[in-house]
Structure 1
Amino acid sequence: MEASDENTIGTKAMSLRYWYGASIAEFLGTGSDSVIGELTTNCTFALLPTQRDAWLAQIELLRAQLSGLTGSIFFEFNIPRVGRRIDVVLVIGPVVFALEFKVGENSFDRSAIEQVWDYALDLKNFHEASHRASIVPILIATELDKSPLLDLREDADQVYRPVSINATGLRAVIDLALSSTNGAAIESRSWSCAPYHPTPTIVEAARALYAQHSVEAIARFDAGAKNLQMTSRRIEELVDEACRTRQKVICFVTGVPGAGKTLVGLNLATRRRAEDQPTHAVFLSGNDPLVAVLREALTRDEVARHKKKRKKIRKADAARPVRAFIQNVHHFRDHALTNEGPPIEHVVIFDEAQRAWNLKQVASFMLRKKKRPGFPYSEPEFLISYMDRHQDWAVVV
C-alpha cells in the first residue's frame, strides 16, 4: 500500500461511509480510547454502554491478530445504498475480509452465518470496487472455546463461503486466504469511497424478476387501466426524448390514493436502460413500510417460482436483485453526501414525493444525525441537484 493511501484514510471517517478507518499500522499504534472516541463521534444513534463494550472487545481482539500485516481497517462500514453496516472490514492485499462479531457468544446460529454471507454478497453486487475482489465473510463468536476446522471454499463469484471462528482464529483465516489468492493489492482509499453500482448480473435478475412477477400481491396493472397505460407511455416518451436531445426533465405524476402512481413508477424503474449501462433507473420511496411490502412481495414471487421448478434458492438471494431497483430514498440521499459524482441512474422515480422534508426538517436531521451543521438544502432541492450532476441528461419523476 502506498504511504499516501495510509495517511489519508482516517480523514474520511466523517464521510458516512464508515465510522473509523485507518491503515492497520495506524490502528495498531492508536490507543483504544481514541478509536472509541472516533467511533462515538461518528455514531448516528444513541450510544449504549453495551455497544461501547462491544467495540472495545473488537478492538482488543483485532490488535492481537493483525500485527505485522499491511492493509487497512474500517469499522462500521456502510454498504452504499443498501442500508447495512458491516462491523469491520479489512482490506489486505487482493482480499476483502467482512467481519461480523458476536461478542459474548459461544456458538453460531444459522441466521448469523446468513447475515455475514449476505454482507459479503452485498459488497460484491452493489459496491463497485468489490466487483472483482475476493471477499471472505468471517463470523467471530468471542467466547467460543475452539474454532471449527478451517475450510476456505471460494465460489465462482469470488465470494468465499462464511468462515466461523473463535477469538483467536482470525489470523489463520487471513493467512490462508492471502496465500491462496492471486492478484494486485487493492488500493484501500479508492476502495473505501467507491460508489454504488450493481453488477450486470443483479440488474438483469431484477429486470427478469419484475417482468415475471405476480403484481396481484401489490395491486393490478391490467389492460383496462387506461390512465395507467397512458401515463406510463407518456413518461416513456419523455425519457426517450430527454436521452435523445440531451435534456433534463422533471415529470409530476398526480392522482387520488390508489390510482396507481406507484405502479407507474415501478414499471418505469424496471424498463429503462441505456446501451452502455444495464440500467439507469431506480424507484425510491421514503415510506419504509411500502418499500418493505414491495420487496417482500417480489421476493416471495421469486422464491415461489423456484419452488415450482423444484429449484432451491435462499430468500436472501432472491431479495438481492429487488434491492437494485427498489430503494429507500434516505439511503440514496446519504450516498449523494459521500459520492461527488452523479448517480449511475439517469432516471429516478421519487415515490410519494409530497412526503419530502423541507429545509428546516433536513437541516435539523443533518445536524443531529449526520453531524453536518448548516445544511442548506431542502430534500427535493438536494435530490434534484444530485441528478443535475449528470452532464448529459436526466429525468426525475
Structure 2
Amino acid sequence: MDFNDTPEQAAFREAAADWLAANVPSKDEIKGMNRLEVAKLWQKRKYDAGWACIGWDPAYGGRGASAIEQVIWKQEEAKYDVPAGFFVIGQGMMAPTLMAYAQPQHLERYLPKLASGEEIWCQLFSEPAGGSDLAALRTKAEKDGDEWVINGQKIWTSGAHYSDFGCVVVRTDPSVPKHKGLSYFFIDMKSPGIEVKPIKQLTGESDFNEVYFTDVRVPDSQRLGEVGQGWQVSLTTLMNERAAIGAGSSGVNVKLAIQLAKEVMIDGKPAIEDSAVKARLASFYVEEAGLKYTSYRTLSALSRGDIPGPENSIGKLVGAPKMQQLASFCMDLLETSGAIWDTSRSKLADNIIGSYMGAPGLRIAGGTDEIMTNIIAERVLGLPQEPRMDKGIPFTDVPTG
C-alpha cells in the first residue's frame, strides 16, 4: 500500500490544516472553562464550518468525506490539544447503530445534534452480574401498551453523568437462550426512574458510573431492531466500538517516552544513551508502528465500503497492554519521583503518572483481554468455540451463584 497522499488528498490535508490553524481555540478564549465546555465549544465550531463527523451524510451534519479523508482530518486535528473524548461513544458507536436501525425521523432528529456536540450519548451495556458476558445481562423490560418498563442496573457506563441520551440492551424474554431474548432501545437519560451514581477511580476521577433503572418507561418507537434482535444490534455497536477506541491513542506514547529519556539521568548521563533504555524504546516503537500499520487494513476495508470486523480486536488486545507496559517503563525512569503526583510539578510527569494509573482500565474497557483473544481465535482464526454450559438453554435455566 502507498501511504503517500494523492494530489487530491494533499489538497484536502492542506485545507484541513489551514482551517485548524485558524480556528483552534486559544488559551485566552477557553480560560475558566472546564474540559466539557471546551469540547462542546470546539465541536460546535467544527460543525458550523462543516468539519464535524465529516464521513456522515451532509443531511446529518457531515460532508460525505471518504474514509481516507477522515483519517487525514484526525491526523491533523491530533496535532492540537483539543478535547474530543466526550463524543467518541455517541459519534463513533451510537451513531453507526442508529444509522443501521433507527427510523428516518430519528436520524433527522438525533444525528445533527450528535455531530454538533449539543447532545452526548452513552452506552448502557455492562452489568454487575454479567462481567464481560454481555448476553448474561439481567436488566429486564416488560411491554405495557406502546411502552416498555425497564428495571435493573448497569455499571461502568462512561459519561452517563453528563449524557443526554443512551443506548441500552435489556432482556425482554427470559424463556429463550440468553442471546435470543434481548432487545435494544435508546433512552432519554433524564427519564424518571433513572439514577446515575459516579464511581471513584484510581486516578481520582469519576468518568464512569453505576446506572439504576426503576420503572423507567420507554416508547416502543425507540426500539432499534426487532424484539429479540438486541444481540445482533449490539454487535453493530461493539464492532464500531473496537474501531472507535482502537488501541487507545491517548496517554503516554513512544514519542513522550523518548522525550522523558532525554530529560532523566542514569549514571550521570541522559537515559536515552543507556543501551537497555534504547532497546526498550526500540521495542515499543516497533510495536506502536505495527499497530499503526495494522489499523490501515481497517482503513482499506472502510475505503471499500466494508464495515469494521472482528479484526479490530487485534488493535485493542495489543495496544492496551502496550500502553500499560510503556507507562510502567516511564515510571521506572522517573524512579522515586514517580510516587509524587503533583500536577503543578511537570506536565510530562503528570501525563505519565496519569497513564500509569489509568492504563489497567484500558484492558477492561470495551472488552477484556480475554474477550478480545476469544474474538480473534473464533472469528478471525476460525478456531473452535470454548465449551459453554449455558448454550442453547433458556436463560431462566442458566445456573447462577
The higher relative CO (CA closer than 8 Å, separation ≥ 6) is in 1
Task: Judge same fold: TM > 0.5, yes or no.
Answer: no
Q: Could you state the TM-score of these two structures normalised by the residue count of structure 2?
A: 0.29
